[in-house]
Amino acid sequence: MKNILVTGAGGFIGGHLVKRLISDDYNVVAVDIKKLEDWYQVNEKAKSLSFDLRDYDSCLKIAPGIDGVFNMACNMGGMGFIENNKAECMLSVLINTNLLRASIKNKVKKYLFSSSACVYNADLQKDVYVDGLKEEDAYPALPEDGYGWEKLFSERMCRHFYEDFALETRVARYHNVYGELGTFDGGREKAPAAICRKVADAKINNKENIDIWGDGKQTRSFLYIDDCIEGTLKLFNSNFREPLNIGSDEQVSINELVNITEKVANIKLKKSYQLDKPKGVRGRSSNNEKMIKNLKWNYTYKLEQGIKKTYEWIYNELKEMNPKSKKFQKSYK
């Protein structure tokens, strides 16, 4: 399997995935809806294209000769975005639907769909500290409204395309992936990037306060991008066909995430809590038992290690006022 298609290649995970596949000597077609100048990473060794994959004909054009597909494309962002753009998030179902159809038409051998921990039943995430979510906890279904429903439906599409058309499908349920070369402002950023930006801004501009959405007690586990890419490739090359967590089980509160970032930045700030902001579920973490068993692999980066690398990159972006730092303020439309 040599010819690989990566969709969402102009985004965060997709950009890192293209870089890794190129380094592993694959022939890569990289596609995103954004113009190339708006991509965070454009690899000269990949064939980089701009297409709207909500259109079936566009999917047909990019799929000929492809052996494997990594579908990383969707309209998404942090909690502030997905709670206020549910219809836009759900329209991403067109991307997965049309890519699956085009994959069958063009005899693609294997297809990986990037899902999310937002598919999990919200009733299991009402306490601050919760047991790690197991793959079977997605049912009975009560996912994050909008974004989570799209992901869960698309997971089922992958399952049925295997059952009906023998397309080998893989589903990665990502848990809060973070790292360098991703959005950190403009409303689509997730908690680690937002916290790193706020701390870096305070450090640069001698501020004393930091705004936190909610009471700071809500918990998550966060997965560093290098581990995400490694786990994704392990899953793609495995024989495991069911949805699988790709995440960390290092569960921390947002307050603890701020403390870790402050430690990395060597600064101490006064926390100001914004209780009217979107907060998402109360607690969420990944159970990695199936991941470890079936992939013979586990994540390696501790949160402080990953936050250090992420903070340093965001700090430098803000310090240098690099125009690229504003790229992901643009809406995916």
- Residue range 43-95, pLDDT digits in tens: 999 999 999 999 999 999 998 899 999 999 988 777 778 788 899 999 999 99
Residue 43 lies in a domain: yes
Sign of CA dihedral 249, 252, 254, 257: negative
Beta bridge partners of 256: none
For residues 64 and 21, membership in a common domain is answered with yes
Q: Which of 35-49, 80-94, 159-173 has the lowest mean pLDDT?
A: 80-94
If one counts the domains in the chain, the total is 2
d(CA 18, CA 191): 24
Residue 135 lies in a domain: yes
For residues 160 and 277, membership in a common domain is answered with no
For residues 166 and 314, membership in a common domain is answered with no
For residues 114 and 35, membership in a common domain is answered with yes
List, by residue number, the catalytic residues: 147
Residue 78 lies in a domain: yes
Closest CA to 102 of 20, 152, 29: 29
d(CA 39, CA 257): 28
Q: Which domain holds residue 278?
A: 178-220+251-285+301-329
Q: Please tell me the pTM assigned to this model.
A: 0.93
Q: Where are the beta strands (DSSP E) in 19-91?
A: 27-32, 47-50, 68-71
For residues 237 and 308, membership in a common domain is answered with no
Residue 108 lies in a domain: yes
- The pair of structure tokens assigned to 150 is 């799209």
For residues 197 and 136, membership in a common domain is answered with no
Residue 295 lies in a domain: no
Closest CA to 77 of 174, 176, 189: 189
Q: What is the pLDDT of residues 247-295, one digit of tens each?
A: 999 999 999 999 999 999 999 999 999 999 888 899 999 999 999 999 9
d(CA 51, CA 91): 16
Residue 315 lies in a domain: yes
CATH label of the domain that carries residue 238: 3.40.50.720
For residues 267 and 126, membership in a common domain is answered with no
Residue 291 lies in a domain: no
For residues 26 and 167, membership in a common domain is answered with yes
Beta bridge partners of 270: 209
Q: Where are the beta strands (DSSP E) in 152-288?
A: 168-174, 177-178, 209-213, 219-221, 223-224, 244-246, 251-253, 270-274
Q: Which of 11-20, 162-171, 185-194 has the lowest mean pLDDT?
A: 185-194
pLDDT at position 332 = 27
Residue 91: is it exposed, middle or buried by C-beta count within 10 angstroms (0-12/13-18/19+)?
A: middle
pLDDT at position 275 = 93
d(CA 94, CA 263): 43
In which residue are the tokens 């607690």 written? 283
Q: Is 325 left (phi over 0), alpha (psi -120 to 50) or beta?
A: alpha
What does DSSP assign to residue 84?
Answer: T
For residues 185 and 165, membership in a common domain is answered with no
pLDDT at position 80 = 76
CATH label of the domain that carries residue 309: 3.90.25.10
Share of the chain above pLDDT 90, in %: 86
For residues 143 and 270, membership in a common domain is answered with no
Q: What is the pLDDT of residues 203-250, one digit of tens each?
A: 999 999 999 999 999 999 999 999 999 999 999 999 999 999 999 999
Share of the chain above pLDDT 70, in %: 96
Residue 139 predicted with pLDDT over 60: yes
Closest CA to 199 of 259, 244, 247, 115: 259
For residues 249 and 329, the model is more confident at 249
For residues 214 and 272, membership in a common domain is answered with yes
Identity of residue 187 = G
Confirm if 169 and 111 have CB atoms less than 8 A apart.
yes
Residue 186: is it exposed, middle or buried by C-beta count within 10 angstroms (0-12/13-18/19+)?
A: middle
pLDDT at position 187 = 80
pLDDT at position 329 = 37
Distance between alpha carbon 131 and the CA centroid of its chain, in Å?
22
- Mean pLDDT, the chain, rounded, equals 93
pLDDT at position 321 = 65
For residues 112 and 190, membership in a common domain is answered with no
Give me the sheet containing 244-246, strands edge to edge.
47-50, 27-32, 3-7, 68-71, 110-116, 168-174, 244-246
Residue 17 predicted with pLDDT over 90: yes
Residue 293 lies in a domain: no
